[in-house]
Each structure stands twice: as structure tokens, then as C-alpha cells.
Amino acid sequence: MSDLVILILLGALSVASALGLLLSQNAIYAALFLVLNFIIGAVIFLVLNAPFLAVVQISVYAGAIMVLFVFVIMLLGAERLAPTENPPGLNYQRPLAVTLGVALLLLSAYVLFVRPSTSVVMTQPVDTSPQAVGIQLFTTYAFPFEVVSLLLLAAMIGAVVLTRKTE
Amino acid sequence: MDAASFVVFLSSVLFVIGVMGVLLRRSALMTFMSVELMLNAANLAFVAFAHRLGQLAGQMFVFFVMTVAAAEVAVGLALIVTIFRTKRSTSVDDLAQLRG
């Protein structure tokens, strides 16, 4: 039960930082709100018994990816975002987006809380230590692991080719 | 209500905020950060279900989603830098033509 209290507090912080990302007018502030959101996500992973993912979340997401974002924002000098007026011909877009988003939220709340849950499968907790995750990664998931390494190579070459100076 | 259902609901709230960011903000950088928020929300749901079912498979999927997100950020930010060089802007409304 105490897990739930911690999760509710973390969830409130998480939603607040996501709203900060959505509403901030400065790209750097938005990136920092996103870093905060990722760190809170890492703590939620810890509560949910996933220590390996919590560390990967901090080092890869909050570390590498967000450093790349902040670097690009400052390199371009694009901190000040343009005022967010509607483009001509899309005036219906904003109210429609808000309406559909609220509808999606209500629907998921209904499915999770109102509708009686059918079958709660509770098995005994498995070993989720980094050692167990590593063994799974290099035995059962060896092929996806190799495919992902190819994907990262392709992304690296793509990024180099795209940003090359063409004369 | 148990912990897993709450986290799945939290993940749907964060996902909706991410969708709002993609739909309402006009800067390509903000759109991109909102996509990251949506990926993170999906990861939360994966971990919640792995916790509920007592299986490791959900956690492995989160690992692969993170890797794909890293690759996506590398290529996407390279595209934004290239577009900014020619257009001097990151607004998606300025990108209405295919010809560079």
C-alpha cells in the first residue's frame, strides 16, 4: 500500500513536469522539464522493481539524449520559440485536439477504474537484477540485440551524412 | 486499485500530454520532445505490465524501445539542424514544400 502512495506522489510530479514541457515558451526550459520527467520515470521504474531500466533511463535518456537536445537548441540559437498562433485554415485544430485528448483520457480512466477487472494474474516475483536482464539479453533476445546494433550504426551514418556540408 | 493500474493510467495521462504537444506546438523541437514524452509513457506501461505479470519480457522491450528512441533522436536532430540551415527557422509551418 505504501508503494501506491509513493507512486501517486511521483505521478503528480511527473504530470506537472510534462505540463511544464507542454506550456513553456523557451525550448531550454522545456528540455529541462523533460529531463525532470525522465528522472521521475526512473524512480517509478525503481518502485516497480526494474533497477536496470532505471539506471539505463538516467544514463541514456536523461543523459545522452537530452544532452543532444540541449546542444542542438543552443547550437541553433532557437531558444525563443515562435508564438503559437494557428496557421490559416487550421483554426479548428486546437479545440479538436483538446477534445479528443480529454476523450482518450476519460476512456482509459473508464477501462482502468470503472470496468471491473476480469482476471488479476499475480505470479511470484521474478529475478529482475541486472544480471538476470543481461542473461536474457544475450540468450533469448540475442537476435533483436544484433538488429538494434545495426540500427544504431545506420542512424550514426545517417546523422553524419545529413549534417555534412555540401558544396 | 493496485500499483500497476495506477502506473498504466499515469502512462496514458503522459501520452495524452505528449499528443497535445505534437498537435498544439508549432516548433519542430517541441514536437520532437513531445514524441520522446510519448515513448517514455509507453515504457512506463510496459514496466507496469511486467511488474503485474511477474515476467521479464516487458523490461526487455523497454530496453529496445530506448535504443530505437536514441537512434531516432540522432537522425531527427540532424534533420532539424539541416532544415534550420536553409530555412533559418524550426517552425513546422515553414516546411510546407518538398523542394529544399
- Do B64 and A3 lie within an 8 Å CB cutoff? no
Q: Residue A162 is nearest to which of B12, B24, B79, comparing CB atoms?
A: B79
CA distances from A151 to A123, A167, B22, B48, B74 (A): 35, 28, 25, 27, 11
- Domain assignment present for residue B90? The answer is yes
Of 3.60.150.10, 1.10.300.10, 2.60.40.1120, 1.20.120.1200, the CATH number of A1-82 is 1.20.120.1200
- Domain assignment present for residue B100? The answer is no
CA distances from A164 to A71, A158, A160, B50, B98 (A): 17, 10, 6, 42, 20
Q: What is the pLDDT of residue B89?
A: 79
SS3 B27: strand
Per-residue pLDDT tens listing for chain A (167 residues): 588 899 999 999 999 999 999 998 888 999 999 999 999 999 999 999 899 999 999 999 888 899 999 999 998 887 776 665 666 667 787 888 889 889 988 988 888 777 766 666 666 677 888 899 999 899 999 999 999 999 999 999 999 998 887 65
Q: What residues of chain B lie within 8 A of the CB of A73, using their CB? A: 29
> What are the helix and strand counts (H, E) for chain A?
7, 0
Chain A CA closest to residue B90: A78
Which alpha helices (DSSP H) does A25-141 contain, by range?
27-47, 51-56, 66-76, 93-109, 130-139
Domain ranges, residue B19: 3-94
Q: What is the pLDDT of residue A82?
A: 61
Other beta carbons less than 10 A from residue A6's beta carbon: 14
SS3 A77: coil
Q: What residues of chain B lie within 8 A of the CB of A158, using their CB? A: 74-75, 78
Cell of B15: 501520452
Domain count, chain B: 1
Chain B CA closest to residue A52: B59
Domain locations along chain A: 1-82, 129-167
Q: What share of chain B is helix, strand, coil (3-state, %, to 5)?
A: 80, 0, 15
Residue ranges of chain B whose pLDDT lies below 70? 1, 99-100
Interface test with B, best of A72, A75, A133 (most B CBs within 10 A): A72
- Do A76 and B84 lie within an 8 Å CB cutoff? yes
Residue A101 C-beta-side C-alpha neighbours within 13 Å: 18
Q: What is the ipTM of this complex?
A: 0.92
DSSP for residue B56: S
Q: What is the pLDDT of residue A162?
A: 86
Q: Which residues 73-92 of A are in CB contact (within 8 Å) with B?
A: 73, 75-76, 78, 81-82, 84, 87
- Do B74 and A159 lie within an 8 Å CB cutoff? yes
Chain A CA closest to residue B51: A48
Residue type, A72: V
Q: From CA B14, how far away is CA B25, in angstroms rounded?
A: 16
pTM of the predicted model as reported, rounded to 2 decimal places? 0.89
Q: What is the pLDDT of residue A93?
A: 79
